[in-house]
Chain A
Amino acid sequence: MHRFANPNRFLKLANAILPWAAGATVILLLAGLYFSLVASPEDYQQGATVRIMYVHVPAAWMALFVYTAMAVASAVALIWKHPVSDLFAKAASPVGAAFTFIALATGAFWGKPMWGTWWVWDARLTSMLILFFLYLGHMALMNAFDDPQRGFRAAAVLALVGVVNVPIIKFSVDWWNTLHQPASVVRMDGPAIDPAMMTPLLLMAFAFKAYFVTVVLLRMRGEIAEAKVRAISMSQVHG
């Protein structure tokens, strides 16, 4: 069982972090919702639709962040055969897919009143849709093999190949003509956004991050239990 020495140590750490991450999610979410929906001004051009930003932008940030983290974990898993990074990649992709879906859906609800259309096939929106399919492909590939190790390997290669999409999404608004507005928070000359709008945006961003930590740790705990079930079943079959 030495193979599980590492995951067991990881379990201890995860269980220590979990209550803090879960508590932070609830508190940040409540504070974030209060500032997003009540205690922030309407935009002088966009009116109340600017409130969609406080869900849309943090979700889109998470979509990119989770994919990048997954790609790094996949590289670590391929190079050093670190079992916990495989589990992280497996646990993270459904969460990343959920955030990507939220970014796409809230984007449509923002696009309709502001641009006059739910969807355009421009660079930002299309590359985001590709990211969503990469997540779905990653989840499908993970479960496509009887041998979980082969699933981990194939999915890790997909995650690494797909990571080229991340800078494409980030810079799509600068490289191509698009309806989507350029970056207004993460830019070279500092944020171009009112502090009253920055507060809810950052609170929601941290709330989503804490949610991600909570759910990923719970999923990894489930995966570790599942791996132990498999190991015990195998040892019973083979004596």
Chain B
Amino acid sequence: MQDFFDMGGYAGFVWPSYGIAAVVLALLFVFTWRLLKTSERRLAQLQAARGRRPRRDRAGDAPAAAAPHETAPAEPADAAGEMR
């Protein structure tokens, strides 16, 4: 078992390589998942708000005030681009 962790004396090079790859791929997956959930939640909110009111009510000049957008909480950096 000790041999396994030692990596023939190269433990300081082999393990960080696997560690970096694991961390980068895991983080990318977590950010992707959060981005997806945030977008789908906003879409569901908008569609629900739209379904509640008949169309002609929104034809007047009370525009975006009725739309419950920009309610999403703080997001990871790559989602911020979409928020403006």
Contact = CB atoms under 8 A, between A and B. Distances in A.
B17 A143 contact: no
A72 interface: no
A232 B46 contact: yes
Contact of A105 (B10, B17, B36): B17
Interface in B32-68: 32-33, 35-36, 38-40, 42-43, 46-47, 50, 58-59, 63-64, 66-67
Interface stretch (A109-117, A127-135, A187-195): A109-117
Contact of A94 (B47, B59, B66, B78): B78
B74 interface: no
Interface residues of B, number: 39
Q: SS class of chain A's interface: helix, strand, loop or mixed?
A: helix
A233 B25 contact: no
A225 B39 contact: yes
B84 A146 contact: yes
Given A98-B28, A236-B63, A236-B64, A221 B36 contact: yes
A222 interface: yes
Nearest to B28: A98
A98 B36 contact: no
A51 B66 contact: no
Contacts, number: 113
B73 interface: no
A222 B28 contact: no
A48 interface: yes
Contacts of A112: 13
A55 B82 contact: no
Contacts of A101: 24
Contacts of A233: 46, 64, 67, 69
Interface in B1-37: 4, 7-10, 13-14, 16-18, 20-21, 24-25, 28-29, 32-33, 35-36
Contacts of A106: 17, 20-21
Nearest to B33: A218
Interface in A184-239: 211, 215, 218-219, 221-223, 225-226, 228-229, 232-233, 236-237, 239
A38 interface: yes
A52 B4 CA distance: 14
The 5 closest A-B pairs by CB, nearest first: A143-B81, A48-B8, A225-B39, A222-B36, A48-B7
Given A228-B43, A232-B67, A233-B67, 9 more contacts: A48-B9, A49-B7, A56-B17, A102-B25, A106-B20, A110-B13, A110-B17, A222-B38, A236-B64
25 contacts: A48-B7, A48-B9, A49-B10, A55-B17, A55-B18, A98-B24, A98-B25, A101-B24, A109-B17, A109-B20, A142-B81, A211-B29, A215-B32, A218-B36, A221-B40, A225-B39, A225-B42, A226-B42, A229-B46, A232-B46, A232-B67, A233-B46, A236-B63, A236-B64, A236-B67
